[in-house]
Chain A
């Protein structure tokens, strides 16, 4: 099946610094990717939709200046958490949908555990 690779899997950073998370589709092209956030013992909440060649679409309540998304190519989307604070500590997961109408499915990265100290 299709593979989405997310890197890094874990990162610890100091308050005020920025962290970049990469999401790559390894064997298919993804014009759209989704970024989710998962707090401990909670479900996944959609943060934003990353669109290749255009601006990302953010969900209500998500600060676009804090969570910068760049979809520079058909296989790579990045999420940068700028000026990170401890409350940004969370599990971030990206996904890319399949393109076929019948076989609609989302392929997920392995997730990134961000800890801000």
Chain B
């Protein structure tokens, strides 16, 4: 079984400040990990993914995440927040075995203050 825990349902940062969204996972098999962003009433957009290659993954819009097996974490960061980053962010896990459906975390709403 796989699961994802996102610490903090709401995160508020100032424009230009560091963004840190936390994600911890649990998986009995090597995981594939993803971060998605969702704007209101829209589908999901992939920010980045970890699929057992480099542990530091760079994504779109300046986001990156680091896979740390020892900490079972895959935190999302961005050095400088923009107003346009305000959205809901979901961490998700799957594996290359089984049915490969994604298991999502509960989501973190990012607010960016001017």
Interface-lining segment among B13-21, B61-69, B92-100: B92-100
Q: In whole angstroms, what is the CA distance A60 to B99 when docked?
A: 15
Tell me if B's interface is mostly helix, strand, loop or mixed: loop
Is the pair A105, B99 in contact by a Cβ cutoff of 8 Å?
A: no
Selected contact of B101 from candidates A6, A34, A108, A113, CB within 8 Å: A34
Q: In whole angstroms, what is the CA distance A104 to B106 when docked?
A: 22
Number of interface residues, chain B, beta carbon within 8 A: 22
Q: In whole angstroms, what is the CA distance A105 to B57 when docked?
A: 15
Is the pair A44, B90 in contact by a Cβ cutoff of 8 Å?
A: yes
Interface-lining segment among A14-22, A63-71, A80-88, A93-101: A93-101
Is the pair A110, B43 in contact by a Cβ cutoff of 8 Å?
A: yes
Q: In whole angstroms, what is the CA distance A106 to B99 when docked?
A: 12
With known contacts A104-B51, A104-B94, A105-B34, A95–B104 Cβ distance under 8 A: no
Residue A54 interfacial (CB < 8 Å): no
Q: A46 — which chain B residues lie within 8 A by C-beta?
A: 101-103
How does the 8 Å CB contact mask read for A23-61 relative to B, with 1 for contact and 0 for none? 000000000101000000011111001000000010000
Is the pair B51, A108 in contact by a Cβ cutoff of 8 Å?
A: no
Tell me if A's interface is mostly helix, strand, loop or mixed: strand
Q: B103 — which chain A residues lie within 8 A by C-beta?
A: 46
Is the pair A109, B51 in contact by a Cβ cutoff of 8 Å?
A: no
Is the pair A43, B94 in contact by a Cβ cutoff of 8 Å?
A: no
Q: In whole angstroms, what is the CA distance A107 to B35 when docked?
A: 13
Q: B96 — which chain A residues lie within 8 A by C-beta?
A: 101, 104
Q: A49 — which chain B residues lie within 8 A by C-beta?
A: 99, 101
Is the pair A106, B106 in contact by a Cβ cutoff of 8 Å?
A: no
